[in-house]
Structure 1
Amino acid sequence: MGGTEGVRAAGPAKPFIPPAPTPREKPVGRLELIRIIYRNPLELWGEPSYNEPWVEVDWMGMHTIIANDPGLIRHVLVDNAKNYRMAAVRQRILRPILRDGLLTAEGEVWKRSRKAMAPVFTPRHIHGFAEAMLERSEAFAERYETPGLVTDVARDMTLLTYDILAATLFSGEIAGEPGQFAKEIDNLFETMGRVDPLDLLGAPDWLPRFTQIRGRRSLAFFRKIVADTVAMRKARMEKGDHVPNDFLTLLLKTEGPEGLTRAEIEDNIITFIGAGHETTARALGWTLYLLAKAPQEREIVETEIDAFMRKGPVSPHEWLENLPLTRAAFEEAMRLYPPAPSINREAVEDDRYRDLKIEKGSTVLAMPWTIHRHRLHWKDPDAFIPARFHPENRGQIDRFQYLPFGAGPRVCIGASFALQEAVIALAVLLSRYRFDTVSQTKPWPVQKLTTQPQGGLPMKVTSRR
């Protein structure tokens, strides 16, 4: 397998081991299982999940395979992807929020949406977003000028990525107020973003879920934002006004019998406003936290950024090319705290991989959380070692042992967008400021659709100038 043989953190200091649940030594009972999955699924996984290529278990009458072998993951997500659909439990959580957005749509609806959005995420278009990403990051950084400021960096990164998303994909024309947006998305993920106990018990769909009832107000808030945003842009287009050729305009141009319905357009906008920016925000917050706890690694990144920023104006493609160590720190943060910690599939027909029989209806979990910390694939898997992703070491990592953006036909369409956004944001913030933990900084990773820091990330921000 790939891995990090021979890779060490810079200098003699031991690498930082960030907080994470200790693998369980024995299985839990039915009621305890439901409680853990509702509270924090990351605390469920036992030692075999971090040491074996795959684990077979029966939960609530469902046969489940936890896939940690890169070959098995490739088989399910790529080689025989046609035999696997989105798992029912995952869809019960996400579809009430995203409906027929790109993350939850299947079949012809998914194909139409993917085709409609592909032109926005070509390298040429993504490079064209660099200037707006830089401008929004620089404007956002001004809020940190207050001496001795202590702020929740997790919440801040939600606001920053919202600003960038609004400026790039929607040309600054999203209805609503960003502060309220951050508050409502936290509530939405706290409620509808959790597995409901009734889903685990196999209750019929018509029975109301408590988690969904609690999240209805926040979901209505997002639906109104989207409806208002679409209405504003559509009115301008119908009047013949000049409108930006952005993500929103492109989607609206696809509306019609051969393209997307208005409902599908709104679902995809919700997907990108809600889930699309949230994943990058969480990864940015975790990166700043990890660098604060690993001063030697932070110094490596700061040195690279300082040298690059002194060069002055750069062309869009230069960010990722010239900041490989900054990118490596971000990618290592996504390894330890994958924004999307689980990928769920369900077998349509019987299948086989080597000596593993996968029966029809079985759930296959390709868990970035366990794969990224697996003892068979990584040296010092629990440690923060950005050097794993330095250019000279990247080739040792198997494509299917590192899955921050998924893989196969349903790989995240915005992966390159997110990487460029993250590197630019980190370059701006870390060139100006130093982020340090305080006594209240005691994050605990919790899965609520994304891997979130329970208690936030309160950090002290000081000027480096």
Structure 2
Amino acid sequence: MLDLRRDPLGVYLDARRNHGGVARISAGPPGVRAEFYLVSSPEGAQQVLATQAANFRKENAIYQEIRESFGNGLLTAQDDDYRRQRRLVQPLFTQRRVNGYADAIGVEAEALAERWTAVAGGAADGVVDAVEEMSRFALRTVARILFGADVEDAIRAVRSSFPLLGHYTVSRGFSPVRIPRDWPTPGNRQAMAAKRELYRVCDEIIARRRTRDGERETDDLLGLLAAARGEDGEQLDPAELRDQVLVFLLAGHETTSTSLTFALQLLGLHPEEQARARAEADELLGDGRRPRASDLAELPYLTQVLKEAMRLYPAAPAIGRRSVAESVVDGVVIPAGADVLVVPYSVHRHPLHWAEPERFDPERFTPEREAARHRYAWFPFGGGPRACIGQHFSMLESVLGLAVLLRAFEVETVDAAVQLGQGVTLEVRGPVRIRLTPRQRVGGAREAVPATE
């Protein structure tokens, strides 16, 4: 139990090394002991998430706590609720629709590059915390796409309330004993105040939008969600609309910010790979123009960099389920009612599928090498019928955002060692500092500006 609290990711890796693709963990004192199964092989992951998905449901303690804190949106809904929500929301996440968000991504990436230019010339010696900076960028981007002109209200609420409510949710989800949420303890009161603030801001924006726009479809995602209709005219009611917004805010900024944080940190440790990625961005965007959605296909090496960062640091390091029927997973019988964790963090480091798994190597993700691997050797967006609906959006934002930043700066990593944990998403315990060197344009291209200039 203490090991799981101190270093859950290390426990997952040790379990796979010592016990294979499926391991049973028993932790805690008698009477409140927790028992669950770790699945750490591509074959097992595919069985739980895809081929036997009906036997494994989102009914474990962590999902129950997420529902209580952030509503019953696509992330946590089940059965008819989920199918109805997915029917209504899916058309808003087609590739064509998501590509329409590229301009908002470019606007926020350019604003960040401009702010970093001021930081690089200041007294901080050009050092920023990539965790903080990428969280801010990803939150501003998803909030702009969701809310349009109402972006600032949402950002203030999320930045003040999400961290507290997220830690509270995870702590309860992994605790063997959970006191009722309505007991007036200091932790409960703080969490409920954060929840009320989040709900209040979302409800006010939704009400304001309905009053202002009526039935008119707008370009931002909230307007599209409010206008979405099923074949029989069904639509999301105000509470469901708020739940979807909260899930998109949670999943849409924490996952992308994690991928971008570690892409920058890894490139700052590997100057040759950084130079190659920058050359690709310069060739495509060297004229200083804002990136377009069509540029994603023209940035294959940057895409490989992001995929390799997500291999080493998947934003969802473990994916929880509860078995509803006895099942055989990777040769091991898992009884009905058992808690199961599918562990991308371990699978992504499996030496049978990844040579030198701890080494950063974007060449692992050439089309030929991807095609030769097991489908579930890499699955940062989950898989099967509950795969992440926003994966194309995440890749579009990450690749285009990284291209804009590398075009403007050279990056050097200050914090090579990073302590990790597990929250609702991958938890970075401490800063990930990088040093920025601005580049100046020379003959249509850019070169680094010496720190003394």
Does TM, normalized by the shorter one, top 0.5? yes
1:73 aligns with 2:45: yes
Residue pair 1:254, 1:260 contacting (<8 A) in 2 also: yes
1:247 aligns with 2:221: yes
CA deviation string 1:367-398 (max 9, x = no partner): 11111112222111112111111333222332
Where does structure 2 lack aligned partners over 5 or more consecutive residues?
A: 441-453
What corresponds to 2:155 in structure 1?
178
Distance 1:151 1:169 in 2: 27
CA deviation string 1:331-368 (max 9, x = no partner): 11111111011111111112224632221111221111
Task: Kindly report the root-mean-square deviation, in angstroms, between the aligned alpha carbons of the 2 structures.
Answer: 2.7
Using the TM superposition, name which of 320-329 and 127-136 deviates more: 127-136
Distance 2:377 2:392 in 1: 19
What corresponds to 2:387 in structure 1?
411
Distance 1:109 1:177 in 2: 26
Alpha-carbon shift at residue 327 of structure 1 (Å): 1.0
Where does structure 1 lack aligned partners over 5 or more consecutive residues?
A: 1-32
- For residues 164-243 of structure 1, the aligned pairs below 5 Å read 164-174=141-151, 176=153, 178=155, 181-195=158-172, 199-201=175-177, 212-238=188-214
Alpha-carbon shift at residue 126 of structure 1 (Å): 1.3
Alpha-carbon shift at residue 423 of structure 1 (Å): 0.5
- For residues 54-453 of structure 1, the aligned pairs below 5 Å read 54-59=22-27, 63-146=35-118, 147=121, 148-174=125-151, 176=153, 178=155, 181-195=158-172, 199-201=175-177, 212-238=188-214, 244-254=218-228, 258-310=234-286, 316-353=292-329, 355-438=331-414, 442-453=417-428
Alpha-carbon shift at residue 183 of structure 1 (Å): 4.4
Report sequence identity in percent: 29
What corresponds to 1:44 in structure 2?
11
- For residues 447-462 of structure 1, the aligned pairs below 5 Å read 447-462=422-437
Residue pair 1:93, 1:194 contacting (<8 A) in 2 also: no
Alpha-carbon shift at residue 211 of structure 1 (Å): 5.7
Residue pair 2:42, 2:376 contacting (<8 A) in 1 also: yes
Choose between structure 1 and 2 for higher RCO, CA contacts under 8 A separated by at least 6 residues.
1
Distance 1:211 1:42 in 2: 26
Residue pair 1:174, 1:229 contacting (<8 A) in 2 also: no
What corresponds to 2:444 in structure 1?
none
TM-score, normalized by length of structure 2?
0.86
Residue pair 1:194, 1:449 contacting (<8 A) in 2 also: no
For the structure 1 residues 434 and 81, does the alpha-carbon distance in structure 2 shift closer, same or farther, using more than 3 Å as the test?
same
For the structure 1 residues 171 and 344, does the alpha-carbon distance in structure 2 shift closer, same or farther, using more than 3 Å as the test?
same
Residue pair 2:49, 2:383 contacting (<8 A) in 1 also: yes
Which one has a larger percent helix, Structure 1 or Structure 2? 2
What corresponds to 1:14 in structure 2?
none
Q: Secondary structure at the match of 2:149?
A: coil
For the structure 1 residues 231 and 191, does the alpha-carbon distance in structure 2 shift closer, same or farther, using more than 3 Å as the test?
same
Distance 2:135 2:292 in 1: 23
Distance 2:186 2:13 in 1: 28
Distance 1:175 1:313 in 2: 26
